[in-house]
Amino acid sequence: MNRFFILTVLPIIIFAGSSNQLTMPSIDIDILLAEDANRQSGTPERYAHSFDVDINLFENADVEQLENGDKIWRLRVSSNDAIGMKLYFNQFYLPEGSTLNIYTDYMSEEPFDFSNNHEDQEFSHRLLQGDTITVEYYEPANINDEALINISTIFHAYKDILGFEESNQERNCGINVECDNSGDFDDQINSVIFLDMGGYICSAVLINNTSFDLTPYVLTANHCVEPENPGEHNYFTFYFRHQSSSCSGSSGNYNYSRTGSTLRASYYYSDFALLEMDYSPAASFNGYYAGWSKSGSAPQISVGIHHPGGDPKKINYDNNDYAYSDGWYSSNTHWRLSWDEGGTEGGSSGSPVFNDDKLIVGQLHGGSGECGNGTDYYGKISTSWTGGGTSSTRLSNWLDPTGTG
């Protein structure tokens, strides 16, 4: 199942009350869940339904003019019974001095301003709890530049991937990273990211390069980012520190996020994708730039770290067993292993596997079972290193930019 082959509905827009409020049509969650139950291995986990829309803020919002001549436009968008919502803007430009606020009854974003403009004039933000989202644009009277604010996609979260309403489901897919026996891997734990691609989720890892210049490269699976092409900008959200604060806890943390990246390289056969985040993680994110090994020799596996089904971060152990060389689309492109403790699930795709030197040797493509009941396949760093022989299909240009070897 390709993640972009989704039924989208042009909504019937309903204006409610004295303020303009757009209401999306109802969706049949049972149908969506039945489709999800048949999701094939090697495809990302879906959590939201997307509505294709064409909503210009200035044509649909209420406008209030203040005594000093400043103006505020407000628009509310509802999707009944949504656990969370997020918006994608296909036209987005804020003049200097103006601000845009996006909030629900439960959560709000920091105000956006001129610094959030991107050359593609598009924009998105992290998932916010609630079934009604408000867009509020403030423009001082002395601004002559014209703003662009047009919504093209509305995401309705029908799964509680961030534990907004209740603690995430407990899965036997590893143990919480806060448990005592994971202490030796604190750095590696801090490198792993929960990735939201807009309606779908995967795992990923912040990865170092031989220049040690802290370029915010993120390794994940190619099937998580399809059909993006190298060089294209996107509005994926990267969550750091989404983990429980205790060994037995089931609630995570979604306060440390960045949105926006560019796809630098990808390769179908080893299922890797390398993203470069628009912004480096702040110091409070505790982001760690993980090391890697491009050796083609069978590695001894120590741990895998991931977000199964969007759960707070989990860790698996393999007691330094050797991985086997195997393939997915062709031979000898993947490392195959079975975990001694823990397992993976939808949402774990793209997560790193570390060898006994605590270096990444691959990223998760998929497996034959869930939560420890089968075999997992990780695309090899050694295969991805040379990939398809070009900078857009291999890791070497990005992770070893000066050609140190």
- Catalytic residue positions, numbered: 223, 271, 349
R_g (Cα) of the chain, nearest Å: 22
Residue 159, both tokens = 């799964």
Helix, coil or strand: residue 308: helix
Beta-bridge partner residues of 72: 64, 138
The sign of the torsion formed by the CA atoms of 341, 296, 223, 162 equals: positive
Strands (DSSP E) found in 158-289: 175-176, 192-196, 200-207, 217-221, 233-240, 256-267, 272-277
Given a contact cutoff of 8 angstroms between Cβ atoms, the answer to whether 363 and 236 are in contact is: no
Helix, coil or strand: residue 272: strand
Angle at 210 between CA 204 and CA 215, to 5 degrees: 50
Given a contact cutoff of 8 angstroms between Cβ atoms, the answer to whether 221 and 240 are in contact is: no
Given a contact cutoff of 8 angstroms between Cβ atoms, the answer to whether 387 and 303 are in contact is: no
Given a contact cutoff of 8 angstroms between Cβ atoms, the answer to whether 155 and 48 are in contact is: yes
Taken as a whole, the chain contains a residue count of 405
Closest CA to 260 of 281, 233, 240, 241: 233
Given a contact cutoff of 8 angstroms between Cβ atoms, the answer to whether 310 and 161 are in contact is: yes
